[in-house]
């Protein structure tokens, strides 16, 4: 009789321990949920974006996973190519069965993935680095089905700050070289209007296509308009070739560049000696404790400063997507996860940090029916009805070690300047 009582007591204790482990998320390692990522790992500035997304996944797994399971990020290289990106996304959705997709970086890759893969399949897409205003328009028309979010501010911010730089430098005329894709076309349209609003003449606006053996014809066209300065909305590969042509033909070294050229590859291949008068624009992390905390974690993990484009945005995109998966619960659809984003970015919710401890705290709050306010590398992220965010901005210059901040522009000042342009 004593043995039977002891056995029963052991069984009860074991059951209680098992329930406790389950509640704590320790059983998360017993199952795995896959999320997809389509990011440009074959280019030097794209690899860190993917690495920091994996870092966020590792933090969540350290906290016990999301929605009861360990998370596996299945990563595919977009090669900054729309067709490659779409094929990669289809494989992730159709073969891997992902309900959440991170990516892409270029708007020209993200848009066809959204319209031909994720939205038709009911998969939530969270981009770290796509800024075209075409997504806003598509969302307003119902084309995103509420499945699209991005942690990077729209091109309207960079465009406005580019015009501010030209105004502050006293430039009277500017030529534009832009990448001939959704992002570049959007940038060229916006920046031309913003230059005009501050009294800067656009002497030429010339499209640059991918993988041409030479950009001499395009550069000659822009140079022939005799601008005082040059604006570049290009990526490092074509940007390097175009600027080399520009300099060799006697073009001015007074250049304003979008954040896509915030690249060691571009700086080194062009030569720092030709970039001394170049100023770049970018969105910026707020001057907040959460941004400082992200920087410290990044330096500890990777041994370098998070100076590349989109790093804090990529971390936040991944963390928010996984928090939404936690809020939506097991077996949630992509639409369920998308709907849960509001629960984890609620301004009135419980503040949680962007690390393993913060995720574990969020799990408890969400399990109790509450909401959380995620505080990450880009601050307290808040999405509007179109899945868009706003952000402060920064003007930067190239240095031997990377880039250096020239001016920080607060969110209020960014919004005020944009309003003045309109």
Q: Where are the domains of the chain?
A: 32-152+288-380, 156-276+395-421
44 three-state secondary structure: coil
The confidence score (pLDDT) of residue 175 equals 98
* Arithmetic mean of pLDDT over the chain: 92
Q: What is the pLDDT of residue 283?
A: 84
- CA atoms lying within 13 Å on the CB side of residue 300: 7
In angstroms, the CA 206 to CA 134 distance is 20
Q: Please compute the mean of the pLDDT values over residues 191-217 and round it to a whole number.
A: 95
pLDDT given at position 17 = 39
Residue-wise pLDDT for 336-391, tens only, equals 999 999 999 999 999 999 999 999 999 999 999 999 999 999 999 989 999 999 88
User: What does the block give as tokens for 160?
Assistant: 């406005």
Residue 317 phi, psi dihedral angles, 5° rounding: -60, -45
pLDDT score recorded for residue 24: 41
CATH class of 32-152+288-380: alpha beta
Give the burial class of 94: count Cβ atoms within 10 A of its Cβ; 0-12 exposed, 13-18 middle, 19 or more buried.
exposed
Query: pLDDT value at position 20?
Result: 40
Q: Mean pLDDT throughout 292-307?
A: 94
Domain topology for 156-276+395-421:
Rossmann fold (3.40.50)
For residue 127 the two structure tokens come to 């981009």
From CA 184, how far away is CA 202, in angstroms rounded?
16
pTM of this prediction? 0.76
Q: 32-152+288-380 and 156-276+395-421 share one CATH topology?
A: yes
The per-residue pLDDT for 235 is 92
> In this predicted model, what pLDDT tens digit does every residue of 66-80 receive, in sequence order?
999 999 999 999 999
Band of pLDDT at residue 422, cut at 50, 70 and 90: confident
What are the CA-CA distances from residue 259 to residues 17, 326, 335, 358 (Å)?
Answer: 52, 33, 32, 30
Instruction: List, for residues 83-142, the tens digit of each pLDDT value.
Output: 999 999 999 999 999 999 999 998 999 999 999 999 999 999 999 999 899 999 999 999
Q: Are the C-beta atoms of 36 and 118 separated by less than 8 Å?
A: no
- Residue 29's pLDDT band, with cuts at 50, 70 and 90, is low
């Amino acid at each position: 009789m004593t043995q039977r009582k002891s056995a029963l007591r052991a069984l009860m204790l074991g059951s209680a321990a098992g329930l406790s482990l389950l509640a704590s998320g320790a059983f998360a390692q017993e199952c795995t949920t896959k999320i997809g990522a389509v990011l440009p790992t074959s280019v030097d500035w794209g690899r860190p974006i993917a690495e920091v997304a994996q870092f966020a996944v590792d933090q969540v797994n350290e906290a016990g996973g999301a929605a009861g399971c360990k998370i596996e990020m299945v990563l595919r290289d977009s090669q900054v190519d729309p067709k490659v990106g779409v094929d990669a996304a289809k494989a992730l959705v159709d073969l891997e069965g992902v309900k959440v997709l991170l990516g892409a970086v270029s708007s020209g890759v993200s848009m066809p993935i959204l319209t031909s893969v994720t939205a038709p399949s009911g998969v939530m897409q969270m981009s770290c680095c796509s800024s075209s205003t075409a997504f806003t328009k598509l969302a307003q028309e119902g084309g995103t089905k509420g499945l699209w979010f991005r942690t990077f501010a729209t091109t309207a911010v960079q465009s406005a700050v580019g015009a501010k730089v030209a105004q502050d430098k006293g430039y009277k005329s500017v030529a534009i070289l832009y990448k001939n894709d959704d992002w570049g076309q959007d940038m060229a349209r916006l920046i031309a209007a913003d230059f005009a609003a501050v009294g800067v003449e656009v002497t030429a606006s010339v499209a640059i296509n991918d993988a041409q053996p030479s950009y001499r014809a395009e550069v000659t066209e822009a140079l022939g308009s005799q601008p005082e300065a040059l604006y570049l909305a290009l990526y490092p590969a074509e940007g390097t070739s175009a600027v080399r042509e520009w300099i060799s033909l006697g073009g001015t070294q007074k250049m304003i560049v979008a954040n896509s050229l915030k690249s060691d590859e571009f700086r080194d291949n062009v030569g720092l000696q030709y970039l001394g008068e170049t100023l770049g624009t970018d969105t910026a992390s707020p001057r907040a404790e959460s941004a400082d905390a992200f920087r410290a974690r990044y330096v500890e993990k990777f041994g370098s400063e998070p100076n590349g484009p989109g790093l804090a945005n990529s971390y936040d995109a991944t963390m928010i997507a996984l928090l939404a998966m936690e809020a939506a619960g097991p077996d949630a659809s992509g639409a369920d996860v998308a709907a849960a984003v509001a629960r984890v970015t609620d301004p009135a919710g419980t503040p949680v940090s962007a690390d393993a401890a913060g995720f574990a705290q969020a799990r408890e709050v969400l399990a109790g029916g509450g909401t959380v306010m995620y505080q990450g590398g880009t601050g307290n992220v808040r999405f509007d009805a179109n899945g868009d965010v706003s952000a402060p901005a920064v003007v930067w210059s190239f240095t031997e070690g990377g880039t250096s901040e020239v001016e920080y522009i607060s969110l209020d000042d960014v919004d005020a300047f944009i309003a003045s342009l309109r």
